[in-house]
Structure 1
Amino acid sequence: MKKQTAGHDLLGDFAPKFAELNDDVLFGQVWSRTDKLSERERIMITMACLQAQGAFPQLEHHMQHAKEFGITKDEMVEMITQLAFYGGWPKAWSAMNLAKKIYKD
């Protein structure tokens, strides 16, 4: 797993503790526990939560990561469709448009 530095890069000077928690705890300690859940499972769970919350800037980042990790367009579309019934139809529309942008090629 690639070391996460977004917190330090974007907020390190402004909010150093938040940056540390983001990079070192969430993405360093929690995401690295692949003996508990695989990275693929963590990506899918995270995207489900972000879509349900309507946190689309964060969802876009995680969708890109999912694509790089090997989650196919068909799998992404199926996840969004499944979540539409539990998290809200308008949020699914927004998520589907993000996926369409990410999987355009």
Structure 2
Amino acid sequence: MEDPLYSEVWADPALSPRDRSIATVAAVVALYRPEELPAQLRRAVDNGVTRAELGALITQIAFYAGFPAAISASAIAARTLPD
């Protein structure tokens, strides 16, 4: 199988695509992967996560992963998902 991430992991019905996006954005922010964050933010919106929810998620992660990672994620989110 060439792409097990999307054909198996994301297709697993145990979590909805929306829930998977929330978990993925949280992990990408916490692990400070700024190059991956724009694509995951767009995917999250496509999967039904609102911009307000993403903002709250980034704030939540700040207390666990650190404020520098969250501040960077907020700036990336603002550029990626303008109002």
Q: Same fold (TM over 0.5)?
A: yes
Write out aligned runs for 1:49-60 (5 A): 49-60=27-38
Match of 2:50 among 68, 72, 81: 72
Structure 1 counterpart of 2:4: 25
Q: If you compute each CA radius of gyration, which structure gives the higher value, 1 or 2?
A: 1
Once residues 31 and 71 of structure 1 are traced to their aligned partners in structure 2, the CA distance between those partners, rounded to angstroms, is 16
Structure 2 counterpart of 1:61: 39
Structure 1 residue 45 and structure 2 residue 26: aligned? no
Once residues 26 and 43 of structure 1 are traced to their aligned partners in structure 2, the CA distance between those partners, rounded to angstroms, is 13
Give the TM-score, by structure 2 length.
0.91
Aligned-partner residue type, residue 54 of structure 1: Y
Percentage identity across aligned positions? 36
Output the aligned Cα RMSD: 1.4
Q: Where does the alignment leave 5 or more consecutive residues of structure 2 unmatched?
A: none
Structure 2 counterpart of 1:14: none
Asked which structure has the greater RCO (Cα within 8 Å, sep 6+), the reply is 2
Q: Where does the alignment leave 5 or more consecutive residues of structure 1 unmatched?
A: 1-16
Give the TM-score, by structure 1 length.
0.73
Tell me if structure 1 keeps the 8 A contact 2:21–2:47: no
How far off is 1:99 after superposition?
1.1
How far off is 1:57 after superposition?
1.1
SS in 2 for 1:56: coil
Count residues with an aligned counterpart. Answer: 83
